[in-house]
């Protein structure tokens, strides 16, 4: 039997608006074939003007504060290079955090310290202690339906982070790819809403339009944005003209809004059923009931090592990303194991079967 994959946060193909994307691609290509197949004009390293304007309108900011890169991962890499270019190499992240971001920060010489996540975000006391001790250049947070935990930070935690940033003078990088995928409750203020001058917002069209377009962005001060654009030009000149033109058109024509509505309608029942199945399988070890995004997660005491859990899961027909990768230095908290459970790409019955199998391995049944 093929294993049940709890491995990646990839959009299910049912929510990719492929028909519309093919139509828009044909449309922009027939209008501007030479421009889109030629080297972009000098100075286009900040990204396509129409796309930056459309993103600015959507995010309630101005185009000169918007930088577009080939996927938000590349934007994070450029940002890390800029923010860690000085003496201060200290970075604070949520624990667990997005593994690729952690690896990027470490690759740029960052000394990464984690602050444990609770079901409503950073443990505020621990965050206050850590930032006073390590004096970070920046704090990296994924406040909405975090990858890998699913946690959505409460308003109190968001405000506490901003207050600490003001007191200690560090920057905040908020990464927001799942923000629009909310299945329950009301939208909370973004961290940038609370402190626009202190916060760099990173975002992506990967989960709300198409990851294959590779369109990600950052919103920050014009100086910061210009600085990362210089680094961008030095490595790849400009982001890809064709996919940016398609993305700009998709925003303009409302294709992103309809893709979000379709994704929310498709994923809400999967989320609800996954929460019920994971609660039944893991009880209180389930870290959060997210109400949005792609992920559930489990942090559990276990007598097993991670390698034993991976091997046991494989024998039981389940594959998953080893949880240690989501912790600074690749180290799990003592005596605990962490499991990320992406629910977005699995039929409900597969998720439930996989969660039960993993829970059995975890407790040695």
Query: Is the alpha carbon torsion for 236, 97, 243, 187 positive or negative?
Result: negative
The reply on whether position 210 binds ligand PMP by CB under 6 A is: no
User: With binding defined as CB under 6 A, does residue 98 bind ligand PMP?
Assistant: yes
- Contact residue for ligand PMP among 147, 210, 240, 244 (CB under 6 A): 147
Q: Answer left, alpha or beta for residue 353, where phi above 0 means left and psi between -120 and 50 means alpha.
A: alpha
Site stretch for ligand PMP (CB under 6 A), options 153-161, 204-212, 332-340, 355-363: 204-212
| 150 contributes a contact to ligand PMP by CB under 6 A | no
**Given candidates 121, 211, 323, 354, which one binds ligand PMP under the rule CB under 6 A?**
211
54 closest CA partner among 254, 256, 252, 259 = 252
CB of 19 to ligand PMP, least distance (A): 21
Least Å distance, CB 244 to ligand PMP, is 13
- Is the distance from CB of 273 to CB of 352 less than 8 angstroms? yes
Report the residue number, 142 or 357, with the smaller CB distance to ligand PMP: 142
CB nearer ligand PMP, residue 90 or residue 97: 97
Using rule CB under 6 A, residue 292 touches ligand PMP = no
Query: Side-chain half-sphere of 85: how many Cα atoms within 13 Å?
Result: 10
Pick from 11, 47, 143, 216 the residue near ligand PMP by CB under 6 A.
216
Task: Output the DSSP codes for 148-208.
Answer: TT-----HHHHHHHHHHHHHHT-EEEEE-TTTT-B-SS-PPPPHHHH-TTTEEEEEESTTT
- Contact between 204 and ligand PMP by CB under 6 A: the answer reads yes
C-beta closer to ligand PMP: residue 113 or 147: 147
Q: 294 or 357: whose CB is closer to ligand PMP?
A: 294
Residues 52-91 binding ligand PMP (CB under 6 A) are 71-73
Binding to ligand PMP, residues 165-194 (CB under 6 A): 175, 177
Contact between 201 and ligand PMP per CB under 6 A: no
Contacts of 14 (CB under 8 A, 6+ apart): 266
Q: How far is the CB of 273 from ligand PMP (least distance, A)?
A: 22
Cα-Cα end-to-end distance for the chain: 21
Closest CA to 171 of 248, 275, 86, 109: 86
Closest CA to 338 of 302, 313, 365: 302
C-alpha separations of 20 from 25, 251, 257 in Å:
9, 12, 12
Q: Is residue 94 part of the contact set for ligand PMP (CB under 6 A)?
A: no
| Nearer residue to ligand PMP within complex by CB, 18 or 280 | 18
By CB under 6 A, name the binding residues for ligand PMP. 9, 71-73, 98, 142, 147, 175, 177, 204, 206, 211, 216
């Amino acid at each position: 039997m093929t294993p049940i994959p709890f491995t990646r946060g990839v959009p299910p193909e049912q929510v990719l608006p492929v028909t519309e994307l093919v139509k828009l691609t044909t449309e922009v290509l027939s209008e501007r074939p030479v421009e889109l197949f030629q080297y972009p004009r000098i100075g286009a390293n900040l990204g396509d003007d129409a796309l930056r304007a459309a993103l600015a309108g959507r995010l309630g900011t101005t185009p000169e504060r918007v930088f577009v890169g080939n996927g938000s991962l590349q934007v994070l890499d450029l940002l890390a290079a800029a923010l860690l270019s000085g003496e201060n190499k200290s970075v604070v992240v949520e624990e667990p955090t997005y593994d690729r971001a952690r690896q990027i920060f470490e690759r740029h010489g960052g000394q990464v310290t984690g602050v444990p996540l609770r079901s409503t975000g950073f443990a505020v006391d621990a965050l206050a202690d850590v930032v006073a001790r390590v004096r970070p250049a920046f704090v990296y947070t994924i406040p909405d339906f975090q990858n890998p935990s699913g946690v959505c930070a409460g308003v109190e935690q968001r405000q506490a982070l901003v207050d600490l940033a003001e007191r200690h003078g560090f920057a905040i990088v908020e990464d927001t790819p799942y923000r629009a995928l909310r299945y329950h409750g009301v939208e909370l203020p973004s961290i940038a809403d609370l402190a626009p001058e202190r916060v760099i917002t990173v975002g992506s069209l990967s989960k709300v339009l198409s990851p294959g377009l590779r369109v990600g962005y950052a919103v920050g001060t014009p100086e910061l944005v210009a600085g990362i654009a210089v680094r961008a030009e030095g490595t790849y000149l400009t982001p890809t003209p064709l996919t940016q033109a398609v993305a700009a058109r998709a925003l303009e024509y409302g294709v992103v809004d309809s893709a979000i509505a379709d994704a929310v309608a498709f994923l809400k029942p999967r989320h609800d059923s996954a929460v019920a199945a994971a609660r039944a399988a893991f009880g209180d070890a389930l870290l959060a009931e997210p109400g949005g995004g792609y992920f559930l997660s489990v942090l559990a005491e276990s007598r097993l090592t991670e390698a034993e859990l991976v091997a046991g899961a494989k024998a039981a027909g389940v594959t998953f990303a080893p949880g240690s990768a989501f912790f600074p230095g690749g180290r799990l908290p003592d005596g605990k194991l962490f499991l990320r459970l992406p629910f977005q790409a699995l039929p409900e019955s597969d998720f439930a079967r996989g969660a039960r199998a993993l829970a059995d391995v975890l407790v040695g049944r």
